[in-house]
Amino acid sequence: MTSGAPPTLGILGGGQLAQMLALAALPLGVRAVVLEPDPQSPARLCAEHLQAPYTDPAGLARLAACTAVTLEFENVPVEALDALESRVPVRPGGALLARSKHRAREKEALRAAGAQTAPFLPIEREADLTGALTAVGGQGLLKTSELGYDGKGQRRVNSEAELRDAWVALGRVSCVLEGLVPFEREVSLAVARSAEGEVAFGPLVENTHRQGILRTSVFPAAAPEGTEARARDVARAVAEAWELAGLLTLEFFQLPGGALLVNEVAPRVHNSGHLTQDGGGLSQFEAQVRAVLGLPLRDWAPLHPTAMVNIIGTADGQQPDWAGIDALPGSRLHLYHKAPRPGRKLGHVNLVAPDLETLRARLDQLEVLVP
Ligand code: AMP
């Protein structure tokens, strides 16, 4: 790092992603400051915690005094970023956030950038429901345009009657109806871009979900040859069209044959990239810190086969087999210091192995140890 006052990274949001960004920043000589209303913010343990609403003027003034500001959470008000942008570099900025936090706008902007998506129709009012399911292929998912995550705010629909019921159940809010995609696998890839336009990529990772929540990520993905290059092309096109500064993760559906549809994007590090913490290469967290602060960028990927299993709160409070996890060769535990609740992400286990066969065998063992 250069001489002078140590750089500081302002982060909007103080969850586990902010916690891991702050931890990745420290060895680079960078301290993090988080603006987060939750007094139990996981990031408070390793960063300066401004406990205030995201639009709090004093909190925003403290962030404006940082070297640069980023976010770890899409549901911060765009106004908070707008209020900062004339005072400090904000990466990504409010215009990109406004796109990526609204499913219909996001899909339109993805298509405008040349990416393919599932067939979709915005649903704003009751009249939009008529004929919509047929238009997207007869089977679909109705998703709220905003505030949905981890499979929340969405319903599978197979008939127009189900579609109408789902829209009422979701509160008659702005939604997107997507056609059901017969994907072969789900993969993701992140792109980092500096304010000067320098681009670097993360690894192609394969993801499996359980009840709409990410359960497992594996590197390398078992996708057909050429998939990673295609994912990079899409990621670069979106990053350039959207003038990304910072890091953007793209989730894809890979169709039989290899074509990629973008499911959704997040303008930040992502749960599917956590395995980069322990694979020996640069981590996604360091990549975001570097991109945001204008430090040199390079591609990042594990140097060995690596997997991640999420630790998610269970309905009956069942605990993982901690001793078993600890005894598994190549495992590393990451806990977020959050109070357990059913469906809540409480931590993850990364697993590194010398070859893919060993990784698969140990992953099978790990799956049994984490309920
Ligand atoms: P999302 O909240 O959009 O990431 O959706 C959560 C999960 O639901 C995805 O990771 C997929 O497994 C599944 N899913 C979402 N949208 C579709 C779709 N259009 N077709 C098939 N599966 C989907």
Give the pLDDT confidence of 214-273 residue by residue, as tens digits.
Answer: 999 999 999 999 999 999 999 999 999 999 999 999 999 999 989 999 999 999 999 999
Mutate to test the pocket of ligand 1, among 120, 141, 177 (most ligand atoms within 8 A of CB): 141
Give me ligand 1 centre to Cα 263, in Å.
Answer: 7
For tokens 């078992």, what's the residue?
Answer: 222
Atom of ligand 1 at shortest range from CA of 103: 3
Burial class (CB in 10 A: 0-12, 13-18, 19+), 311: buried
What letter does residue 6 receive in the DSSP assignment? P
Reply yes or no on whether the pLDDT at 113 is more than 60: yes
Provide CATH code, domain 8-90: 3.40.50.20
Contact 30, 70 (CB under 8 A): no
Dihedral (CA of 134, 135, 137, 140) sign: negative
Most ligand 1 atoms within 8 A of CB, residue of 110, 211, 263, 272 to mutate: 263
Would you say residue 121 has pLDDT above 90? yes
* Residue 122, token pair as written in the block: 């915005």
Which atom belonging to ligand 1 lies closest to the Cα atom of 181? Answer: 20
H/E element, 215: strand 213-219
| Residue 243, both tokens | 């003038």
The reply to whether CATH 3.30.420.40 applies to domain 185-369 is no
Domain limits, the chain: 8-90, 119-179, 185-369
Question: What are the tens digits of pLDDT across the range 295-344?
Answer: 999 999 999 999 999 999 999 989 999 999 999 999 999 999 999 999 99
Q: What is the number of other CB atoms lying within 10 angstroms of the CB of residue 28?
A: 16
Helix or strand (DSSP H, E) at 366? helix 356-369
The one-letter amino acid at 256: P
DSSP string for residues in 108-177: HHHHHTT--B--EEEE-SGGGGTTHHHHTTS-EEEEESSS--TTTTEEEESSHHHHHHHHHHTTS-SEEE
* Ramachandran region, residue 74 (left: φ > 0; alpha: ψ -120 to 50; beta: rest): alpha
Tell me, what's the pLDDT at 4? Answer: 74
Q: How far is the CA of 325 from the centre of ligand 1 (A)?
A: 29
Q: Give the Cβ contact number of residue 148 at 10 Å.
A: 17
Residue 122 has pLDDT above 80, yes or no: yes
Is the domain defined by 119-179 classed in CATH 3.30.70.260? no
